A and B are shown apart, each in its own frame.
Chain A
Amino acid sequence: MSTPSNRTLNAVELQVNGVAYPVAIETSRNLSGVLRDEVGLTGTKEGCDDCECGACMVLLDGQPINSCSYLAVQAQGREITTIEGLADGDDLHPLQRNILAMGGVQCGFCTPGMLMSATALLERNPTPTEDEIKIGLSGNLCRCTGYAKILDSVAATAVEIS
């Protein structure tokens, strides 16, 4: 991105996975970069940096957003959930357990974003149809799996939790 016209740092507190993180950042910084480089949570990936691939998907007040193209300062006062917020200690979230068990992870780069979209989908619709799962994950690209195993693991999770 272009060089900011000045380098003024903003003292901002970001609420991530229930923890408050004070950071000092420039206004132009994107949320994915701040999560990775300032907060230190590198589960969120940067793929296209163009709002196309969904690797950077996080939840903002429970709804998925592309964090590569969202200004971090604009997330003040909102609850951010990243992939690190899904597991309960060592107990994996059912979505994580199922996608591993069902072979929905190959290179793994898209997985965090996929699971954040899936989390939001199941939160608002615990019994999605196959088409609703496809629409829910339509902002997430995977170049390895061919999607079938990912979709299967979301469907299996829906059955498990509903």
Chain B
Amino acid sequence: MTLTIATSLDDILAGLAQGARPIAGGTDLVVGSRQGKGSLPDTLIAIDRVAELNTIDVGADATRIGSGVTHARLMTDTTVVEQFTSIADASALVGSPATRNVGTLGGNVMNGSPAMDTGAPLVVLGAKAELASTSGTRTIGLDELWTGPGQTSANEDELCVALVIPNRPTASGSAYVRLEYRRAMEIAIVGAAASVEFDGDAIGAVNVALTAVAPTILEVTGLNGIVGSALDDATLAQVAEIASEQAAPISDLRASDKYRRHTIGVMARRAVDAAARRAAGEQIAVPVNRALGVGAVQ
């Protein structure tokens, strides 16, 4: 097998067109191969030194986050923390400092795990994935991208080069919380992201997406009923009920389906509450799990 270190996006796309597979931090690919989940691809192209993939560009209508931006940067970058806070919440929970130093947003998204932490935040923020190949670039919704556990609709010769997120309205906030059994090197038992926008004192818009309760990240539907309501206990209880109803969890060694179905409601409720508090101007430090003591205790 061979590994080439790319220095430009053109290098990468030419390599992929000839059958090479991309590697950034290797925190899924190399770890997976050492666990025996699969062998390493015969031809690898390292994409982590390409400057074009490592930018965060704030445009007039949308912000473009390069797929090579690491979790360590996402959890501290001012734009991400202030505007797309749920992504920072999620990135701060990924693995350990070592994982976050080399693990990337694009890697998390394209690995396609239903337990990916950045996925639910990206969904509630309305992100789209920009895919490039030697034949051109296309931008698709995440619901179109993720087709099953570990599966995406991207062609073999396509690289996810960026996630494009609409800029945020005023009086809005987002948050990501997850259930975890320990504070580091953890994978979500379940998790929930929420985005809330206020219209005066009432909820103007609300989006919720769920982690690790379906074959892909699950966007909750049917929340229109609470638009126009005040954010009170009854509203939050409704969010929890709807999220639990729509979840389609499995039982595995980490949790039973019943436990996941119950706790996803709790996480959804907490995510909406934290997002709303941020939308109202409260400063809740990243990650919400630590600031509010939502996750594992020490």
A contacts, CB < 8 Å to B:
1-2, 4-6, 8, 10, 26-28, 30, 49-52, 54, 57, 60, 63-66, 68-71, 73-74, 76-77, 117, 120-121, 134-136, 138-140
Contact = CB atoms under 8 A, between A and B. Distances in A.
B140 to A, nearest CB: 29
Interface of B: 1-3, 5, 23, 26-27, 30-31, 33-36, 39-40, 42, 44, 46, 48, 72, 95-99, 101-102, 183-185, 298
Contacts of A4: 1, 40
B101 A65 contact: yes
A135 B102 CA distance: 17
A79 B1 CA distance: 24
A135 B76 CA distance: 15
B23 A71 contact: yes
14 contacts: A1-B33, A4-B1, A10-B2, A27-B44, A49-B34, A63-B97, A66-B98, A69-B26, A70-B30, A74-B26, A74-B46, A138-B96, A138-B97, A138-B183
A54 B36 contact: no
Contacts of B23: 71, 74
Contact of A1 (B34, B72, B98): B34
A50 B101 contact: no
Contacts of A1: 33-34, 36, 39
A26 B44 CA distance: 13
A138 B93 CA distance: 11
A136 B96 CA distance: 8
Given A28-B40, A64-B101, A71 B30 contact: yes
A50 B44 contact: no
A51 B39 CA distance: 17
